[in-house]
Amino acid sequence: MFELVQKNKRLIQVLIILIIIPFAFFGLEAYTRAKRGTDVATVEGEGITAREFGDALRAQQDRLRAAFGGQFDPSAYDTPEMREALVEALIAERLVAIEAVKSRLLVSDDALRRVIAAMPAFQRGGKFSKADYEALLRAQSLSEAQFEARLRYDLTVGQLRQAVSATAIAPKTVAARIDALEDEKREVSEALVPAGLYLDKVSVTPEQAKAHYEAHKAEYRAPERIRVEYVVLSAEALGKATSVSDAELKKAYAEAGSKYRVGEQRRASHILIKLAPDADEATRKAAHEKAEKILAEVKAAPEQFAELAKKYSQDTGSAAQGGDLGLFGRGMMVKSFEDAAFALKAGETSGIVETEFGLHIIRVTEIQPERARPLAEVRKELTKMVQEEKGKRRFAELAESFANQVYEQADALKPVAERLKLELKTSDWITKTPRPEYGVLNNPRLLAALFSPDALKERRNTDAIEVGSDTLVAARVLEHEAARERGFDEVRADIEQTLRREAAVKRATEAGEAILARLKKGEASDLKWGAAQMVSRREPGALEPAVLRTAMALDSAKLPSYFGEIRPGEGYAVYRLSKVIAAPQPSDDKLRQDLERLRQRIAASEYASYVASLRERADVSIHRDNLLPAQQ
Amino acid sequence: MALDLEEQEQLATLKAWWKDHGGNVVLVIVVMALAFSGWQGWRWYQIRQASEASALYETLRKAVEAGDLKGVRDSGGALAENFPNRLQAAMGALAQARFYFDRGDLKSAKAQLQWVIERSPSAEFRDLARLRLAMVLLDEKAYDAALAQLEPPPAAPFVAQYAALKGDILVEKNDAKQAAAAYRAALEKAPKDDQAFARSVRMRLEALGG
């Protein structure tokens, strides 16, 4: 072998070059493909990386956080099912992308440029800003090429999605039929045969109760519960605890500036002669003549304005007060009224002023010039504002140290409470399930932390958890009671009541069904019918979905028609269908709207089927080991 | 530097070898170069075709958005004529079908959908086009032709929608019994996460008294 190489050096060199050539052109993708140890899924040989998955998960959580605010608990929305759903969504997107690439759907540089230029994030003063673009990308540590490639990918997927779903059509025939079904109205009345009627007539033997207990032990278990001590650090409480000195108040008052200025206010009375803006010439003339006459009377005896207003004004509200409208500033009255009122001096009367309400004669009775509300008057609200600000500042100073202390000295909360002068509170028994009466502890994240092994077994402090804006809570378990079975005697009364009610509902059902049979034969009954209500599929009124469906599907050849339904815990409900009104011929507009609604529904179904069909033909595998959260 | 004997001998062997096989080696290299440039050229041609088709499709989409009948007809026609085998042409035909359907021109809508059924390289597009063609035929009251479109089974994910439409057509044909059976089949095959579809089909089924 070695000799052969020795002898044919040139030939070997040529051969080596020939072997190398393909690598220069085909790259190393064959090798990189093998490295998919952390990918969450593989679609047609392409990996969906853990990083892509992480990004998508984070984006989803950000959206949820924006929707739920402080109550958001990331762990509640990071279940294996949700991860599975998310990876399915990424696979769907990738399938469409692969199909787009295979079909060589291209997004031109030009189109790409247009989309980037139109993105609101990169705009300054309504125009694309190259500097903002670069700065924003740098902030996300993306190169322009990376960002543009990502965007191009999104646009390509979008193009194909759009080609499938934006081209959907819906048959008018079906839209019209659905319309007729949804708007058909039926008159339904309800009568209840209440279980309460039979509660006294049924009995439960101890053996029955015992048997029920044995069969349903799990349901009667007392849940796991804990009592905790906790410390709350909140900007609000910190603020309330601070005192505000006069000097601080004065400073804040000076800084508030125009906030406590009150513009000029005027008090006026008026006499109104109503006149609609679109009144005809004759009415207009009559109203003006009347107003002139009153004006003359007012001019003759200005001090009699209040009496004249009572006598003539057609503004019934103010007439009784002698035309008084109270104090008002600028911008509170219609323009022409305001202009007239602010042009007069105190005690003067205007001429005839026309507004959309009619003709006014205005008399200004008082002028309060522009003024600043004195400190004494605003002291209370100003103090509150200063306290809030101080509280926020104090909170910002303390939050980190609070979190650190809680973490560093994890076996007690007393020291941190003493050091920061916070109240150490104790709770009643609480369970894992959030409830409003838990107050500040009613936060899913906090509860989850309290029921973690660290907190339960090691009795460690929870982290300082943000339960609301500017509110941190740290808690520690004092007492823990595991879930336990409750003895028969402890729950006997509950069980007996449940069983009695069940038996009573059964009796009510028997009675109700007998009545229903008689009604169907056309015989009378002594049921007390509730008020009849008109329902349709679109407007179900107070009917439950199942009842509505039965009511709408009931044969209406012979009316009235009857049906019944068991109401668990309550009794047996009998329903009477007394009238059927076919849907009216829909207007063109309504039909168009309903057609579009149907079209969108069809489009969504078709796109889902499109993706499912791509998926059926493709080679897809999900690597579930990589899907679970990384263990810490 | 003088060559020693062994090297001279080697050179002679190589020369002899070259004399015998040199032509072949050159031929192989030439063929490879040709194949490579041919492959590159083909790739270049494909990309050019693809970008032309994509650009035409973009023009068509804008014309559809603007409601420009002439623009739609011109760019749509050019797409189908110049790039009949590309997906862009089928995408364009679907877009045109909706455009014409919305304007009440059912005949042109049908022609576009028919084109997709006959020419589209994508099986999914063919299934979609058949479903939509049956919808147009239903609106034209051509019930039997509509049912005929739905007869050959589509890919599994489309089965539920095919069945639901079959039910709608049979209702119009006053065949309540068969219609109910079709709706039931649709409900059975409906994807679990498409609640809106199932609700709507169930309503249509219940209205038949079943």
Average pLDDT for chain A: 85
- Asked whether residue B134 falls in the same domain as residue B208, the answer is yes
Residues 7-36 of chain B with CB under 8 A from chain A are 10, 13-14, 17, 25, 32, 36
| Residue A499 and residue A453 share a domain | no
Q: Does A171 touch chain B (CB under 8 A)?
A: yes
Contact state of A614 with B87 under an 8 Å Cβ cutoff? no
**Residues A283, A364 within the same domain:** yes
Whether A475 and A498 map to the same domain: the answer is: no
Residue A166 pLDDT > 90: yes
**A106 with B197: Cβ contact below 8 A:** no
Tell me the chain A residues in contact with residue B135 when contact means C-beta distances shorter than 8 Å: 169-171, 174
| B162, B182: one domain | yes
CATH of the domain at A452: 3.10.50
pLDDT for A220 beyond 80: yes
A426 vs B: CB within 8 A: no
Q: Do B86 and A103 touch (CB under 8 A)?
A: yes
Residue A24 belongs to domain spanning: 2-33
Question: Are A359 and A395 members of one domain?
Answer: no
The pLDDT assigned to A3 comes to: 64
- Within this chain, do residues B130 and B205 fall inside the same structural domain, yes or no? yes
pLDDT at res. A32: 46
Could you tell me if B187 lies within 8 Å of chain A, comparing CB atoms? no
Task: Tell me the per-residue pLDDT of B68-90, one tens digit each, with 9 for 90 and over.
Answer: 999 999 999 999 999 988 999 99
Write down which residue in A340, A369, A398 finishes a domain: A369
A455 to chain B, any CB pair closer than 8 A? The answer is no
Q: Has residue B162 got a pLDDT over 90?
A: yes
Tell me the C-alpha distance between A594 and A320, whole Å. Answer: 53
Q: How many residues does chain A have?
A: 632
Q: What pLDDT digit, counting tens, does each position of B89-147 carry?
A: 999 999 999 999 999 999 999 999 999 999 998 899 999 999 999 999 999 999 999 99
Does A575 map to a domain? yes
Higher pLDDT, B155 or A80: B155
Q: Is the pLDDT of residue A143 over 90?
A: no
Question: Nearest 5 degrees, angle CA B30-CA B34-CA B39?
Answer: 150
Per the domain annotation, does B44 fall within a domain? yes
In a domain, A319, yes or no: yes
One domain, residues B210 and B141:
yes
Mean pLDDT of A116-123: 82
**Are B105 and B31 part of one and the same domain?**
yes
> Is the per-residue pLDDT at A30 higher than 60?
no
On whether residue A460 sits in a domain, the answer given is yes
Number of domains in chain B: 2
The answer to whether B157 contacts A613, with C-beta atoms less than 8 Å apart, is yes
User: What is the reported pLDDT for A201?
Assistant: 86
Q: Does the pLDDT value for residue A631 go beyond 50?
A: no
What confidence score (pLDDT) does residue A161 get? 92
pLDDT at position A24 is 54
Are both B88 and B55 inside the same structural domain? yes
Contact B88 A168 (CB under 8 A): no
The average pLDDT across A148-175 equals 91
In order, the DSSP letters of B82-109 are: H-TTSHHHHHHHHHHHHHHHHTT-HHHH
Per the structure, the count of domains in chain A is: 4
CATH number at residue A328: 3.10.50.40
- Same-domain check for residues B144 and B192: yes
Task: Give the pLDDT confidence score for residue A369 in this predicted structure.
Answer: 86
- Provide CB contacts within 8 A for A470, sequence distance 6+: A234, A235, A236, A391, A392, A395
Indicate whether A215 and A231 sit together in one domain.
no
* B32 and B109 part of one domain: yes
Provide the pLDDT for residue A543: 86
CATH number (domain holding residue B156): 1.25.40.10
DSSP string, A502-570: HHHHHHHHHHHHHHHHHHHTT----------EEE-SS--TT--HHHHHHHHHS--SSSSEEEEEEETTT
Portion 136-175 of B in contact with A at CB < 8 A: 136, 138-139, 155-158, 160-161, 165, 168, 171-172
Structural domain boundaries enclosing B77? 26-116
Residue A70: predicted pLDDT: 59
Same domain, A311 and A282: yes
Nearest CA in chain A to B207: A553
At residue A508, the pLDDT reads: 92
Cut 0.90: pTM above it: no
Quote the pLDDT of residue A329: 85
Domain's final residue, options B84, B116, B148: B116
A485-492 mean pLDDT: 85
Is residue A69, in this structure, part of any structural domain at all?
A: no
The predicted-structure confidence for A55-82, as pLDDT tens digits, reads as follows 888 888 888 877 776 566 666 667 778 8
The answer to whether B87 contacts A178, with C-beta atoms less than 8 Å apart, is: no
Mean pLDDT, range A415-424, rounded to an integer: 89
Task: Please check whether residues B144 and B197 belong to one and the same domain.
Answer: yes
Cβ of A240 under 8 Å from any chain B Cβ? no
Q: Are residues B110 and B130 in the same domain?
A: no
Alpha carbon separation from B6 to A6, B10, B20 (Å, rounded): 11, 6, 21
Q: Does A600 touch chain B (CB under 8 A)?
A: no
Q: Within this chain, do residues B112 and B126 fall inside the same structural domain, yes or no?
A: no
Q: Is residue A139 assigned to a domain? A: no
Nearest to B169 by CA among B198, B139, B207: B139
Cβ atoms of B45 and B37 within 8 Å: the answer is no
Using a CB–CB cutoff of 8 Å, tell me whether A75 touches chain B. no
Whether A72 is in a domain gets the answer no
Same domain, A200 and A229: no
pLDDT tops 50 at residue A338: yes
Question: Last residue of a domain, which of A451, A482, A513?
Answer: A482
